[in-house]
Amino acid sequence: MESHKKILEKYWGFSSFKPAQEAVINTLENNKDVIALLPTGGGKSICFQLPTLLKPGICIVISPLIALMQDQVEALQKKGIKALMLGGKINFQELDQLLDNCIYGNYKFLYLSPERLQQEIVQQRILQMNVSHIAIDEAHCISEWGHDFRPAYHNIKLLKELAPEAKTIALTATATKKVVADIQDKLSLENAEIIKHSFQRKNLQFFTYKKEDKQYALIRFLKKNKGSGIIYVRSRKATTDLKRVLQQNQIEAEAYHGGLTSKEKKKHLQNWLNNSYPIMVATTAFGMGIDKANVRTIVHYQIPESLESYFQEAGRAGRDGLAAKAFLLYNDADIIRLENQFLKILPTPENVKYVYKKLNSYFTIAYGEGQEERFNFNFLAFCNTYNLPTSTTYQVLQLLDRAGILNLTQEYHKQTEVQFLVSDKHLHYFLDQNPHYALPVRTLLRMYGGFFDHKIQVNLVLLSKKTQLNTDKIIHLLKELHQKEVISLELRDQDTSIQFLVPREDHITINPLIPYIKQQFKNKQEKIKAVLQYLENNEVCKNKQLLAYFGETIAEKCGKCSVCLAEKMKQKFSKKELNNIYQEIKAILEKNDATTKNLIDQLNYPDEIIVHVLRKMLDQEKIKVSPNNTYSLSS
């Protein structure tokens, strides 16, 4: 049998293990269960993949993330290792064949979701498999105290009954002490060895800055900090809008979001991996499972929903061990948006029952029926039919997906696509000459970005709602524009797919979810409170704050986060120098009101010091700030 390191080098090309990997592998080799807490980039997958190659049998891997499972299966197959996954869109015959392959085909890895595990055929076939290991990825999902709780994870311990001889490894990159205890309890891993590598990333600098003009701050930061980076935003429109702003400021960037076709996603990803352009502006799913070691900067352009997700996303920088930066920009509007986006749209039990009932009515599913049936539909058309709020309704569908009631897929590739074939200047001239097209076209331009660069998916129902024109009228106008070669139009009207996983039983289906729904709301409140405390605490080292949240205590400050650098900067300036800055700010404000940006442009001092002096002046009521974020002298 080849040694651990020979297998590591043969299949992964590494000559040595990362911290804690070898300890995890040796524990599994000694027939003990493991709970492994490794930071993002800590090489979690090798911890279960390598031991599986050392033993006869198959490893069953449970993961909630279809894209991540697919990436890992493809990576294993490229190495010549037999692996497969049970995806969401396979019929019974395909499922039957794939499970047979696991029993008779010498496969080493079977990836599946916790929801797929609930199927009787899957359970029966696992009984026939020689299961060597059970790997539970994103194990924090089993805890209702975690940031990504999925009720279906509670049923995973069934695997211990189906394969009692197999050793279990539960892996996570973000778990508090409370969550680790929950993982032990819910997975019946009371005797498991807990192996934790410190979450501290000594090569990573954490910066949080409150800026009224975030675009200006971002451009300055990126021009000072070259190299590969990811900028995280929360919407498809934001990715294309911000990409355009960066390009206008001579910063090469591309956008990545769920609305792109598979071909576009692969192209954009490959170009970024090959360093064809340094910056990817993306929604938060991007980067998961992507092996790019030389990412130098991670920017959060909007506030993350939890410190767990922030730490995980920031951890995608500097995996090569070299210095990297995590930069979080926010303003007062972002704080309001955070609370609106993540708290006010959370569904109540009544919302869930109502939407579930309307879903069944929409697809005419009789009581006791519907299991395994799949439907494609237009999400906004469904919401409009029953006058449902879109944000909360989408949250309900996600909740039902997490709970294993249905499988939700956003079929973005089936949406209507539009691209403008004329220049911006020619378009406006055309609209002046043909004003009956102006309303839908100009509304489209306000709703989305990137029409002049490539095809953009548009939602006709939303466009109808915004313009007060009926959908048929809009389609007619778009077809005419297509014929006139003003736009390229691909007309489709379905953007969502659901598959019902259990028979319709109305309240009987939803009532067991009520404690989960209530707990979810409480959890979200606590997570957002922790994020806001982290942002507003500019006295304690940012690194120490993050580690404390995950139960780690360190004595020393990092010396390089936004708090530590501001402290060092203040120590460099004498009281006399600070007073000089105060006098210069006062002189500027005596002439005109000014924003922070105006003052930074006019004063030849570090940004942190200017902001520090402004805070002191505000505290002493020497100046005041207007609703437009301009400073003026107090009267």
Encode pLDDT of 418-466 as tens digits.
Answer: 889 988 889 988 998 999 999 999 998 888 877 887 788 787 777 887 8
Q: What is the mean pLDDT of the chain?
A: 87
Give the residue-averaged pLDDT of 253-276: 86
Q: Answer whether residue 211 shows pLDDT above 80.
A: yes
What is the distance between the alpha carbons of residues 356 and 386, in angstroms, rounded to a whole number?
Answer: 12
Give the residue-averaged pLDDT of 298-312: 91
Are 113 and 103 in contact by the 8 Å Cβ rule? The answer is no
Q: Would you state the pLDDT for residue 2? A: 53
Buried b (16+ CB within 10 A) or exposed e, 10-48: ebbeeeebbebbbbbbebbeeeebbbbbbbbbbbbbbbb
CATH 3.40.50.300, applies to 204-339 = yes
Written as six digits, the tokens of 98 are: 């794939």
Number of continuous H segments (helices) and E segments (strands) in the chain: 27, 21
Fold of 573-633: Arc Repressor Mutant, subunit A (1.10.10)
Half-sphere exposure of 148 (CA within 13 A, CB side): 17
Lowest-confidence range among 326-335, 368-377, 390-399, 448-457? 448-457
Locus of tokens 């799949």: 374
CATH 3.30.365.10, applies to 345-411+497-524 = no
Pairing, β 324-330 against β 374-377 = unpaired
* pTM assigned to the model: 0.72
CATH superfamily for 4-196 is P-loop containing nucleotide triphosphate hydrolases (3.40.50.300)
Q: Answer whether residue 1 shows pLDDT above 60.
A: no
Report percent pLDDT > 70 for the chain: 96
Are 311 and 285 in contact by the 8 Å Cβ rule? The answer is no
Pairing, β 295-300 against β 324-330 = parallel
Most confident of 186-200, 315-329, 572-586: 315-329
List pLDDT tens digits, range 500-524.
888 998 888 889 888 888 887 888 8
Long-range contacts of 595-598 (CB under 8 A, 24+ apart): 595/212, 595/213, 595/629, 595/630, 595/631, 596/211, 596/212, 596/213, 596/629, 596/631, 597/212, 597/213, 597/216
CB atoms within 10 A of CB 568: 12
Are 282 and 292 in contact by the 8 Å Cβ rule? The answer is no
**Cα separations (Å) of 97 from 86, 92, 100, 131, 238?**
11, 9, 5, 18, 43
How large is the greatest C-alpha to C-alpha distance in the chain, in angstroms? 84
Give the residue-averaged pLDDT of 303-323: 90
Q: Answer whether residue 414 shows pLDDT above 70.
A: no
Written as six digits, the tokens of 545 are: 């704050």
Q: Answer whether residue 413 shows pLDDT above 50.
A: no
Are 50 and 24 in contact by the 8 Å Cβ rule? The answer is no
More confident residue, 418 or 261: 418
**Cα separations (Å) of 247 from 251, 280, 351?**
5, 12, 43
List pLDDT tens digits, range 37-81.
887 767 888 999 999 998 999 999 998 877 778 888 988 999 999
List pLDDT tens digits, range 26-39.
999 889 999 998 87
Give the residue-averaged pLDDT of 539-547: 94
